[in-house]
Structure 1
Amino acid sequence: MIIGTAGHIDHGKTALVKALTGVDADRLAEEKARGITIDLGFAYRHLPGAPEHAISGFVDVPGHERFVHTMLAGAGGIDFALIVVAADDGVMPQTREHVAILDLLGLSLGAVALTKCDLAGEARRAEVGAEVAALLAETGLAGAPVFPVSAVTGEGIDALRGHLAGQERAARPRPGQGRARLLVDRCFTLRGAGTVVTGTVVSGAFATGERVAVSPSGLTARIRSIHAQNTPAERGEAGQRCALNLAGEGVAREAIARGDVVLDPALLAPSDRIDATLRVLASEPRPVGTWFPARLHTGAAEVGARVVPLGDPIGPGGAGLAQLVLDRPVAGFVGDRYILRDVSARRTLGGGVFLDLRAPARKRRTEARRALLAAAAPRDPGAALAGLLATGELVAPDAFARDRALSDAELAAAVAAPGAEWFGGLLAAPGGVARLRAAIGAELAAWHEANPELHGMPRERLRLALTPRPPKEPFLDHLRAEAAAGRLVLDGAFLRLPGHVARLTEADEEIYARVAGGLGGAARFRPPRVRDFAGELGLDEAEIRRVMKLCARAGRVDEIAKDHFFLRATTAEMADFVRSLSAAAPEGWFTAAAFRDRMENGRKVAIQILDFFDRQGLTLRRGDLRRINPHRADLYARAGSDGGESSPVGRPDFKSGWGGETVPGGFDSHSPSPDP
């Protein structure tokens, strides 16, 4: 069990810890010279009456108002609050602030040490005890027992020590199944050992020899040795204060700071925009409105933040949802608690719980968004997942588990609870896949009815029209499966129902038939232009242009340059030339001259064709060099070729960024690789 002190400056916190453990937690020369605690202090002891192998850890925090940020760094990992109030002074400003912080952190286990009782009579003790009880009455620590003590005479020390031992016996261990996380509060170098970090393990367990990462920096390391509760150990488990001796490239005292988190590499995904609950203290003088500046504390980290309420401004004593926009990323997790203080570090404003680490910058105040956050609120992963799926949302299981630090077993249990269905690599509510399939069919049918002359609907436009909106890669996986089942036809970046055929009028079909004969054959790489067809066939140039543009929208031809149309099969053949040239060229870059020679065509037409492929996104250009864009390599691929899919129809779809990564995680995105 980790016991943390709290209270006003000079109320005897450090002296009390020394009386309980025999350890002076003030380790800095300046602390001893000034007689006040400046930094976090630590002490360890097996308390008489506690379980045989249980070693209690004490975190001694500063009480001065200038060091509340340091107190917060130590309070994030404690299990039991020891509130220290001097009998001669009574409740003071930092007593109130520390109690408010403990309440915002959700602590419900604690006791009150009424110190310096050698300086107060029975009446004064009773008066201060009543004052403390009133202070705690509206918090999670209401009813905490009060122990009159004196570090000078030893009065009450044994009774308090016995109570703490009883709490150690009754303490429920922190969940050990999750992935490992340690909140770093110190980093230093030991001669002969190297870099050491200390902190509280808040989930999972660490073992010697394991690879870990440091978030948010992404530094990787190996654990050389572990001290758990100040004792050499092979493992450090949730609920213990541990010192990890780290080794690896770049691992140094300067590279790791208070507020970092040492964790399982699979959890490395820091956040700088977080949606959360927010409770504003009644002592705050004004409401928290949009873009409210503050200092955010979570774990041992401190970072500047802007607060954006997801509704009306949150007034003193009120609560609501808010988005936290941070100055830099932090290693936060869903369910973590945080504290907000004003930018001058003079008072605590409020705090709450993280709900979504991948919050959107746009449409953050919609009712749908608020419903998602309400669904994500339960601490139980199975209940949270069931709630999210019930809103109709598609959930990426890897991101869901990563943002909650769940182990594989915990994720499997959470997925089994709501009976979820798989949509590509995502989870959907029972019946959700069938509803999405019906929505896709309805959207395509409506599109074909409104645009009978078009070959198909842009797949990105279809994705954006769906609710919920699936991420791109799982959506494409689903479309491929649907195409394989014969429920739709996937034509590159476009989709159509199996029975749909683009229709032209009889007159337009007749004009196209006369023009199409001149687009193929040996001259297919340099076909005539519209004006050439008009003179040769005796047709109106504007009519030919209109029909060819309709055919381009229907996917029969491509307008490579103005009034210069190529058959779709010819475009696919030229795209194969580009793929083969890129595959054979050093690092994939080939010249326009190489493409010209491969086509046995003129340079001007070759450049126009390559410019067309640049616009479509099939190729990337660097000066006179080009290469295949790996995210668009399937464009214009013919059946059986290496590209896999056929080409897009009509206007280019590359502006959608299809194939690129979306914001990782959250409720509507897929998970990135854990590799930093």
Structure 2
Amino acid sequence: MHVLCTAGHVDHGKSTLVRALTGMEPDRYAEERRRGMTIDLGFAWTTLPGLPRDGTVAFVDVPGHERFVSTMLAGAGPAPAAMFVVAADEGWMPQSAEHADALAAAGLDRGLLVITRCDLLDPDLALADARDALAARGLGDWPAVCVSAPTGAGLEDLRTALADLVSGIPAPEPDADVRLWVDRAFTVRGAGTVVTGTLRSGTVAPGQELELDGADGRTAVTVRAVQELGEPVDAATAVARVALNLRGLPHSAVRRGDVLLAPRAWPVAREFDVRLHGIGGPPEVGNSPVGLTLHAGSAAVPVRMRPLDAGAGLIRLRPARPLPLRIGDRAVLRDPGARRVVAGLTVLDPKPPPLRRRGAARQRAGELAAATGTPDAGAELARRGTVRTAELTRLGVPGPEIRALAGRVPGAVGLLLHPARALSAAADLAAALARHDAADPLDPGLPLAAARRAVDLPDAALVEAALDWARDTSSEAAEVPVVRDGRVRTAADAGPPAELLAAAAELRADLTRTPFTAPDAERLAGLGLGPRELAALERAGELLRLTPEVVLLPDAPDRAVEVLRDLGDEFTPSTVREALGSSRRVVVPLLELLGRRGVTVRTAGGVHRLR
């Protein structure tokens, strides 16, 4: 299916043309037919021979009156092309100008100009004026057709021109993430809540789980049934006009401007950086940060504006509610008070960094100066320093591009690290490690968690990835720290100081003679071994501390198990103490350690046995 927005004209000339093309009545309300003026969105469709896919063209007939421009934008926003209607007997009208401004601002540059009512007046003057007006807005290459709906003159030419227009629209990816902007929501007796919209990406089918993104946040919903142009279908693939029956959702919970999304696939844009596009000239947004409305899809949301570089058209917008926007999305800024379209915009970053410091806006503008609005994995990684692959997907970067980038840069656990960021992190870690070891030689090395915080990386796994990358690419690889035993250490780390190792050697000699007679506090003090020294020796694998004051050799538990095997099926602490030639001070914590390791089991009778 192909979907066109029908815009431009205010009265029944436009609706009459749609009716002549499709044989359907696009004006749904009796008041519209009585007043000769479209008030709300109307829908009609027909088939055209020679088209790819199913040959169906659907029309979203939008109101033309200046009071309904917001409704017009709700219908035009998701449409990929437009049929722009101007009456020969009325010519280019003020509402024609605002409709053309809106289409140009939204980036809807595929269209067809149709001059109607050619039976009432020669169309040449209206055609020339319309061509000039569209050209001034960057839409001058649209083909044009002159028709008369009542007489049928030119309708065949119009059908041919429509076929040419829609056949040139690129086909979307059927496996893309679903995003359906809701333009109608109503209740059907016996079925419940139904929403309609133009499906621009992905495929929807009965039973599919989606997220409803609205004023109250995101809610999980299930699609009960799908209709395409009034007929039930097993699945609808973009681009298509669809109606979805949603299970378990009250009608009051959904309204025009809400959007149905593939779960967890779209960012929650609470603020976003954009580049403005003027309409026939530089954008003029004024100095006020408030008073503007953002039209994205079928949504119309008040926004606050913060200039980053007004001269370059770079601004940050904060909408009244979050929106599911990706890099490259187009939208329209409108001043509802002045009833004018201010500018179009392209989303450059739907998840920008906060601006907290003086000069941060100017620095941010510099970072965005070369941004094109096309999702680019390398550019996003360079701008952010580190990014999750899932976040790149949500931003709109294609999967193959993400996978290709992941093979060229450091990363871990679904995170990518820019090579320059990896090198700077490695250098900063070396400096932090040197300061730490100088201040505390008994505790050499930084724990991974502390190292991650020292260089502000989002995950400790990236610490090792950064160091590995620096070691592989640096000419001074020997100076790059290493990760060993859960700590970042210097490559030449020899463990505890020499005097501490000498004291440990004396202690080992004592325990070699009597392995289960732990030295008392006096002996430890005589060797200069306090709690911090003992902790450092334990980290180095020189000793095993059963408690802060009870110290044995690292292999003491294995030696004890060999003795316990000769004590029969069960044993008590007393029998163990006698067998080991030790004391209760050592045996009780030793048995507790063996129990924690799963070597022994304590029975219901309070005795122990080997597992």
Q: Distance in 2 between matches of 1:126 and 1:87?
A: 8
Q: What is residue 534 of structure 1 aligned with on the other side?
A: none
Work out the CA distance in 2 between the residues paired with 1:134 and 1:306: 34
Q: Which residue of 2 aligns with 1:416?
A: 404
Percent sequence identity over aligned pairs = 36
Matches within 5 A, 1:94-109: 94-109=95-110
Q: How does 1:215-614 map to 2 (within 5 A)?
A: 215-216=213-214, 217-247=217-247, 249=248, 251-267=249-265, 269-281=267-279, 287-289=285-287, 291-311=289-309, 313-314=310-311, 319-344=312-337, 346-363=339-356, 365=360, 369-370=364-365, 372-373=367-368, 377-379=372-374, 381=375, 384-390=376-382, 393-404=385-396, 410-416=398-404, 419-428=407-416, 431=419, 435=423, 438-448=426-436, 451=439, 455=443, 463=452, 466=455, 469-472=456-459, 474-475=461-462, 487-488=482-483, 497=490, 499=493
Structure 1 counterpart SS, 2:126: helix
Instruction: Output the CA distance in 1 between the equivalents of 2:520 and 2:334.
Output: 74
Offset at residue 98 of structure 1 (A) = 1.2
2-structure distance, mates of 1:344, 1:641 = 72
What residue identity is the alignment partner of 2:435? W
User: Which amino acid in structure 1 is aligned with residue 324 of structure 2?
Assistant: A
Alpha-carbon contact 2:58-2:241 (below 8 Å) kept: yes
**Alpha-carbon displacement from aligned partner over 1:504-544 (angstroms, at most 9, x marks no partner):** x99xxxxxxxxxxxxxx9999xxxxxxxxxxxxxxxxxxxx
Q: Shift of residue 13 of structure 1?
A: 1.5
Structure 1 counterpart of 2:333, one-letter code = L
1:170-228 deviations in Å (ceiling 9; x for gaps) = 44312323112212111111123222111111111112222222124322222222122
SS in structure 2 at match of 1:218:
strand
Output aligned runs, 1:6-155, within 5 Å: 6-10=7-11, 12-51=13-52, 53-121=54-122, 125-155=123-153
Residue aligned with 1:84, SS: strand
**SS state at 1:234 partner:** coil
Specify every segment of 5 or more residues in structure 2 that has no aligned partner in the other structure, as ranges: 470-479, 501-517, 522-529, 537-544, 550-592, 598-611
Partner of 1:359, secondary structure, is: coil
- Residue 329 of structure 1: how far off its partner (Å): 1.4
Distance in 2 (alpha carbons) for counterparts of 1:555 and 1:13: 84
CA deviation after TM superposition for structure 1 residue 570, in Å = 5.5
Q: Is the 8 A contact 1:421 1:431 kept in 2?
A: yes
User: Could you say what secondary structure the match of 1:266 adopts?
Assistant: coil
In 2, the alpha carbon distance for the partners of 1:347 and 1:29 equals 29
CA distance in structure 2 between the aligned counterparts of 1:555 and 1:226, rounded to whole angstroms: 66
Q: 2-side partners of 1:569 and 1:273: how far apart? A: 53
Is residue 87–residue 116 contact of structure 1 (8 Å, CA) maintained in 2? yes
Shift in alpha-carbon separation, 1:378–1:305, aligned structure 2, 3 A? closer
Distance 2:148 2:520 in 1: 102
Q: Take 1:301 and 1:392, find their aligned partners in 2: how far apart are those partners?
A: 29
- Any idea what SS the aligned residue of 1:158 has? helix
Q: Distance in 1 between matches of 2:150 and 2:261?
A: 42
Q: Which amino acid counterpart does residue 159 of structure 1 have in structure 2?
A: D
C-alpha deviations, 1:559-594, integer Å up to 9, x for none?
xxxxxxxx99759xxxxxxxxxxxxxxxxxxxxxxx
Q: 1:479 to 1:163 in 2, by over 3 A?
A: closer
Instruction: Encode CA deviations 1:118-146: one digit per residue, 9 max, x unaligned.
Output: 2223xxx3222221111122444222122
Alpha carbons of structure 1 residues 397 and 228: separation in structure 2 relative to 1, 3 Å: same
The 2-side partners of 1:177 and 1:372 are apart by 32
d(CA) in 2 for partners of 1:569, 1:322: 61
State which structure, 1 or 2, has the greater radius of gyration over its C-alpha atoms. Answer: 2
Offset of residue 3 of structure 1: 1.1
Distance across 1 between alignment mates of 2:68 and 2:296? 16
| 1:387 aligned partner, one-letter code | A
Note closer, same or farther for the CA distance 1:428–1:31 as it changes in structure 2 (3 Å cut): same
- Following the alignment from structure 2 to structure 1, what is the Cα–Cα distance between the partners of residues 494 and 433? 9
User: Per-residue deviation at 1:411?
Assistant: 1.2
Q: 1:366 to 1:459 in 2, by over 3 A?
A: farther
